[in-house]
Amino acid sequence: MEVALAAPRTAEQYAQALREGLELTSRMRDLVEAIREIVDGQKLESQAADEVELGAALGEVVDGLQPVAQAKGVRLLLAQTGDSLTPRVGRQRLATLTFQCLESAVSLASPGSEIRIDAESSPARVRFCWHGEKCVALSHPELALLVAQAGWEGVGAEWRRERVKNVETVTIALPSALDAHGES
């Protein structure tokens, strides 16, 4: 930035160089925050996991994000099929990863659309599906999805993200899920 401002320029050129520098600084800050979240998530993964029922955990996150979704005009629909799941992921980690996915989906979803969250027990997976326009690479919601992906993969889940026209789907195959009776 100093080099760009070192030569004599018009006031408009100085202002443009400063705007570009601030934009770059903002993007760098977002990247550093994303890296920090991944590192913090790895620390949480090394802690003992207290098992929690997936449907209840998803319900808490959906309830917490309802006001944000409503403000954007997006509906959140949660559906659970099959037996209750208890993934071997700690409560705090599960809530954080689910929140990151859903918050990003709300940000990326088109106003007036809906986000469907499906929890399935056989096979054990969670699917987030929404309608939205293609987003700028490395935008804040896109970075949050990448952080969530790293977190889910860090706990042993398989992550798949697909886009068909304007429909985005993230499917997370859960690791070592247990049914309600504690059996594998």
Are both 87 and 113 inside the same structural domain? yes
pLDDT confidence band for 181 (50 / 70 / 90): very low
User: In the chain, how many domains are there?
Assistant: 2
Q: What is the mean pLDDT of the chain?
A: 79
Answer yes or no: do 68 and 148 share one domain.
Answer: yes
Say if residue 132's pLDDT is above 80.
yes
In a shared domain, residues 26 and 113: no
Q: What does the pLDDT read at residue 49?
A: 53
Q: Model-level pTM?
A: 0.71
Q: 167 and 150, same structural domain?
A: yes
What is the Cα gyration radius of the chain? 20
Q: What is the rounded distance in angstroms from the CA atom of residue 99 to the CA atom of residue 58?
A: 9
Asked if 127 contacts 152 with a C-beta cutoff of 8 angstroms, the reply is no
76, β-bridge pairs: 115
Between 43 and 159, name the one with better pLDDT.
Answer: 159
**Domain of residue 99, residue span:** 49-173
Residue 9 has pLDDT above 90, yes or no: no
What is the pLDDT at residue 52?
Answer: 66
Q: What is the mean pLDDT of residues 131-147?
A: 81
In a shared domain, residues 37 and 62: no
